[in-house]
Amino acid sequence: MKLLLNGLTKFLIGLLLVGVLIFLPAGTFNYIGGWTFVALLFIPMLIMGVVMFIKAPDLLKKRLQSKEKEDTQKGVVAFSALIFLGGFIVAGLDFRFGWSNVPTTVQIIASALFLASYALYAEVMRENAYLSRTIEVQENQKVIDTGLYGIVRHPMYMATILLFLMIPLILGSWFAFVIFLAYPLIIALRIKNEEQVLSEQLDGYREYKQKVKYKIIPFVW
């Protein structure tokens, strides 16, 4: 019951916060891009939450834990929050004042890629039962090197980067897109610190890095 209440509370707070950050600057609820994004984000999130609550409550508990222990990761979380705050507000203001002209086709493609990224994210969680939101090595944790983890070392970040870069396009704002371009840089910093922690504390991770050469983009990086 505690896990259920915690999950529902964070879900509703997130829904309310995103709604305020988008629709308040827009000055209206008549914002199709805003409603499309809210639906694409929170409906799959609710479904995934229910599935994890039923089949993998321990994983859900880890995903709800957001208090970082590493100082570097605390900074990453803070900068990420600023990116989202600025991006959503600018997107709302962009809609209100008509700064951008994002073609409907681009918004549709971005929506499709957003859902594809969500599916990729769900597959990563299915493969890795140790997938906490915080950087830590858990008791009896093992290196996962199968499936997507056999292609890149951080498939979750690969999914989230694509996911988050589609957000401003769904919202119809080129200006917000420029702000969200800072997100991959923040993720690169997070990965650097995370790999340092895992290399020092997780048995077999150094060998895994030699086996799987690429971090998030196959044949590139």
Q: Where are the domains of the chain?
A: 2-211
Q: What is the reported pTM?
A: 0.86
- Start-to-end CA distance of the chain, whole Å, equals 42
**Phi and psi dihedrals of 74, rounded to 5?**
-60, -40
Read off the pLDDT band of 40 (50, 70, 90): very high
Q: What is the average pLDDT value for the chain, to the nearest integer?
A: 86
What's the confidence (pLDDT) of residue 49?
81
- Quick one: how far is CA 26 from the chain centroid? 24
Say how far apart CA 154 and CA 152 lie, in whole Å. Answer: 6
Half-sphere exposure of 122 (CA within 13 A, CB side): 15
Read off the pLDDT band of 51 (50, 70, 90): confident
Contact between 189 and 71 under an 8 Å Cβ cutoff? The reply is no
Tokens of 93: 């203001």
Contact between 70 and 193 under an 8 Å Cβ cutoff? The reply is yes
Say how far apart CA 129 and CA 29 lie, in whole Å. Answer: 39
What's the confidence (pLDDT) of residue 164?
92
Contacts 24+ apart (CB under 8 A), 118-122: 118/40, 118/44, 118/159, 118/163, 120/148, 120/155, 120/158, 120/159, 120/162, 121/156, 121/159, 121/160, 121/163, 122/44, 122/48
Domain 2-211 classification at class level: mainly alpha
pLDDT higher at 74 or 154 = 154
Picking from 165, 175, 180, the residue whose alpha carbon sits closest to that of residue 25 is 175
Average pLDDT over residues 92-106: 95
Count of residues in the chain: 221
The residues, ordered by sequence, that sit 6+ positions from 123 with a Cβ below 8 Å of its Cβ are 147, 148, 155
pLDDT higher at 143 or 38 = 38
Residue 66 pLDDT exceeds 70: no
